[in-house]
Structure 1
């Protein structure tokens, strides 16, 4: 069961709240429609329930607030708008990435594709899907964790009648299995046809809380739609004949002067009246009209919530009826429904804090599927390999460039070699793409502040950078052997320190791009941080005042071994010295400084975000 109590959105610039003390329930085993005209506060109410916006109130999902649920994906499935995924990602790839985020087996993706009728379109890109197929994929994303409650915002907007009927059938099937379904709509006919319970709101306030039968009886009325060039004369004739026959007939003139809506009559009676008086009729049809929401004019009712009391309940646990209100939620006159009124006195609903979505339960799997789920990664690696192979051949032509620079394809004209630039771009896309195409939760964006997700991104980006560095060296060596023969390539004596330097450069650029994109939430910021290392930071490091060396670090590995009582092999001493030489290099020092600043900025923004929310 879903219980929303006292939902009130925050005021903005003195405007009235979009949702004002809204209280209702969506029971288990039932489809509940939240009905309201555009701008009535339906979407704002859902966002308050999902803790996507600040305000007041509380929403219980089977007795627990959302931030108290250990695994929200298995409790609540959400459909807000279109699929928040990368447009070039396939439907199956999107679902598998979300499977890794939700901690469910990857086989669940194929099961849901078959459930929503997309089994044959799993390899289609998200951007190529039609509106109906996109909505089916969004529903599959909501059903991924097999949740108990489904919350959907205008799920049938823009869909054809056949697609809308199919979607409502899926919702009814979910409710029949013991789940709770809440969806918003602005069409009262759709609500009466597809829902078992209808909650009507207007101006952010509750105006009716009824089952479908009572809603159809009090809100929807059958009528005869008439279109004639003599609308005023026909209206007068119908009203006069109804008074003569002592029948209750209501004639309403629509906005168009040639259209009438007649309540309490039939097509045959209207047609006979027009025929007897020689009036032409261009349209005559039976319709179901919407009488619109009727505001509450009865006495105010005090209502408090947890943290400041609870609404009154009957012995059976249902809401206590107010004076003059029947079981359908309308008063004795059958017109004015019972509203939710702001609690009087000092007791107020508890505040709703805007909370970010939780990180993936399997962050490494999620990051791998995110990285290789699009062709951008493969394209960037291919560009790096081709550019490096071509540059290495050109650099080796004059014979003046050192062999390590030739193998790394690093001419003096470029601030960084292509491999380092591409590694930084891949790192920047690790966060930048997720902010552009959020995938973890609808309306929330991604969650870059989780330690597990950050460590997974750092590990995966470092592994990809090392693989790229190795492939570039192999591709450069192969191209040199092919063009100039094998005599040009000789293994230098300091190959260990060169390998550490090359690996540190690529990994450092990848991490710099990743952290900068995570701090500024833009891919371009990550690329700029990578380029700033050789362009800005290296000159600053080189211009630092250099004092004469008074002491030497010779023997540092031995002293470290004695300090930590460690018995590592003597081969490890070479690794320690190689790492020290890397840090002592201007580019290595610049990367170290840049990474330190970015880590501090990342931690600062993380702590500031936690304090804010």
Structure 2
């Protein structure tokens, strides 16, 4: 069950809080509706419960606050608005990626797709889904980790009547299996028709907490709706006849030519209009809403007193079976998530392809112009460019790795703080580093192959110092990728991550060179020559050669600037992460 106690949002300036001291319960095995009009505070209350917004109060999910639950997605399934996924990702790819994040088998994606009726659309892109299909996908994401509790914000908003009946039927099936369901709505008739218990908010305050049957009896009243060009005259006639017959009748004049008649029937209103020759355009029975305060003092009835309504037409499929998940997640879980995230969109492949193509073209042009060292030729790095295409592409891949988490927050339902977890950072560094290393090797290989085909062995040759050059090149490209990852994670933007990568050779390296006041060639050669002398114990398997090559990288101004930038960004990321946990 859910126990919300004293939920209060933080007010801004002199405005009253959007939610003020709201307390209620939602019991297991029942569907609870959080009812209120626009500005009543429904969405704010849900965000306070899920700890997505700062405020006061606490919410217990089966006796534990959300921040004390090890795996929130396995306890609470959330649907707040549209599905927060990359529009180019497929439906099945989105669910499989979230399976890795939740620590459940990837076959679970196919099970929930069948439940929500999206099996035929599993290869569709998220950006092409209609409103109804997006809601179905959102419900699939909420059900993915087999949670006990479902929390949904206006789940049928913008859906057709048939889609709304299907969604509420699925929620009813989840409650029938012992789960807890809480959803918000602004339609009192929808709440009375689909929920067992209704909590009513008005202007941020709790005004009613009652069973659905009690709510329908005290707040909803039958009425006759009439549209006529002579609405004022018809209203006067109805009131006069009711007064003569000593009947209780209430006529409400609404906008335009519409009347709402309480205490009468369509037959009586129609006969009155016919006798007096009043033209009627519409005559229908409706259920009218008496307002949020109606029935607030009524004694609540047990939720079990209201039986579940039979489903119509589009009955939902049975819910997926429970899944077995490990209590302690393996260390590869975030790595699997990051691999599926990177491989699920075309941006990764397009960026790598453009970087390789640009590197080959630059290498061919440099070879034709001449006067370029073999190392720079194979890396496709002319003197006029601050970064070679491969390093720039690796930096962009790293920036996208964290930038997409904030632009398309697929993990936001899991309390919205998953992108700040150190395990996910390590996974992003590992995967982006592997992609950057592969890109660096492919760049040299493709450049060497094209140069050999176009110019022959005179240009395409292996340099004498291939080891330090290779280590420095791979380390530089991987460092650019890591800089993009850390900067995008700190500033929550892909653009900021790419800007930080460009700032290393353009801003940091010149400043560092001015501070050191030493020529780069002498510093590099001196450090490389002194490494064997500084090593007290000879390392096995020629490891001293690799250590000397790594020192050669850091001794360069750009390499040193990159190393210092990585250290500063990592410290800044750790600081922001720890500060967020303290709050």
TM-score w.r.t. length of structure 2: 0.90
- Conserved in 2, the CA contact under 8 Å of 1:439 and 1:446? no
Distance 1:139 1:489 in 2: 57
- Conserved in 2, the CA contact under 8 Å of 1:225 and 1:262? yes
1:289 matches 2:311: no
Distance 2:414 2:286 in 1: 38
- Conserved in 2, the CA contact under 8 Å of 1:359 and 1:440? no
1:554 CA displacement: 6.2
- Conserved in 1, the CA contact under 8 Å of 2:226 and 2:281? yes
Number of equivalent positions: 552
Distance 1:361 1:74 in 2: 18
After superposition, the Cα gap between the structure-2 partners of 1:446 and 1:237, relative to the gap in structure 1 and judged at 3 Å, is same
- Conserved in 2, the CA contact under 8 Å of 1:561 and 1:568? no
Distance 2:428 2:207 in 1: 49
Distance 1:327 1:525 in 2: 54
1:384 matches 2:383: no
Distance 1:179 1:122 in 2: 27
Q: Secondary structure in 1 aligned to 2:540?
A: coil
Match of 1:430?
Answer: 401
1:592 matches 2:563: yes
Distance 2:340 2:111 in 1: 18
1:517 CA displacement: 1.3
After superposition, the Cα gap between the structure-2 partners of 1:161 and 1:359, relative to the gap in structure 1 and judged at 3 Å, is farther
Moved more, 32-41 or 602-611: 602-611
**Aligned counterparts, 1:222-237, within 5 A:** 222-237=222-237
Match of 2:495?
Answer: 524
Distance 1:360 1:259 in 2: 65
- Conserved in 1, the CA contact under 8 Å of 2:528 and 2:548? no
1:232 CA displacement: 2.9
**Aligned counterparts, 1:102-141, within 5 A:** 102-141=102-141
**Aligned counterparts, 1:7-406, within 5 A:** 7-256=7-256, 258-294=257-293, 326-328=299-301, 362-406=333-377
Q: Secondary structure in 2 aligned to 1:13?
A: coil
Distance 2:548 2:573 in 1: 30
> Cα RMSD (Å) of the superposition?
2.4
**Aligned counterparts, 1:470-481, within 5 A:** 470-481=441-452
Moved more, 117-126 or 247-256: 247-256
TM-score w.r.t. length of structure 1: 0.86
After superposition, the Cα gap between the structure-2 partners of 1:133 and 1:260, relative to the gap in structure 1 and judged at 3 Å, is same
Q: Secondary structure in 1 aligned to 2:286?
A: strand
After superposition, the Cα gap between the structure-2 partners of 1:205 and 1:178, relative to the gap in structure 1 and judged at 3 Å, is same
Output one character per residue of 1:326-351: Cα deviation in whole Å (capped at 9) or x when no partner.
3349xxxxxxxxxxxxxxxxxxxxxx
1:79 CA displacement: 0.5
Output one character per residue of 1:205-259: Cα deviation in whole Å (capped at 9) or x when no partner.
1111121111111111111111223333322332233233333222222233x32
- Conserved in 2, the CA contact under 8 Å of 1:219 and 1:290? yes
1:498 matches 2:469: yes
Distance 1:560 1:450 in 2: 38
1:482 matches 2:481: no
1:154 CA displacement: 0.6
1:444 CA displacement: 5.5
- Conserved in 1, the CA contact under 8 Å of 2:479 and 2:566? yes
Distance 2:331 2:240 in 1: 70
Q: Secondary structure in 2 aligned to 1:261?
A: strand
Distance 1:168 1:598 in 2: 47
Q: Secondary structure in 1 aligned to 2:79?
A: strand
Moved more, 532-541 or 108-117: 532-541
Greater fraction helix: 2
After superposition, the Cα gap between the structure-2 partners of 1:205 and 1:398, relative to the gap in structure 1 and judged at 3 Å, is closer
- Conserved in 2, the CA contact under 8 Å of 1:89 and 1:373? yes
After superposition, the Cα gap between the structure-2 partners of 1:42 and 1:556, relative to the gap in structure 1 and judged at 3 Å, is same
Output one character per residue of 1:139-198: Cα deviation in whole Å (capped at 9) or x when no partner.
111111111111100111111111111111111111111111111111111111111211
- Conserved in 2, the CA contact under 8 Å of 1:359 and 1:453? no
After superposition, the Cα gap between the structure-2 partners of 1:291 and 1:443, relative to the gap in structure 1 and judged at 3 Å, is farther
1:556 CA displacement: 4.8
1:75 CA displacement: 0.7
- Conserved in 1, the CA contact under 8 Å of 2:73 and 2:413? no
1:456 CA displacement: 1.0
- Conserved in 2, the CA contact under 8 Å of 1:209 and 1:328? no
Name structure 1 gaps, 5 residues minimum: 298-323, 330-357
Name structure 2 gaps, 5 residues minimum: 303-328
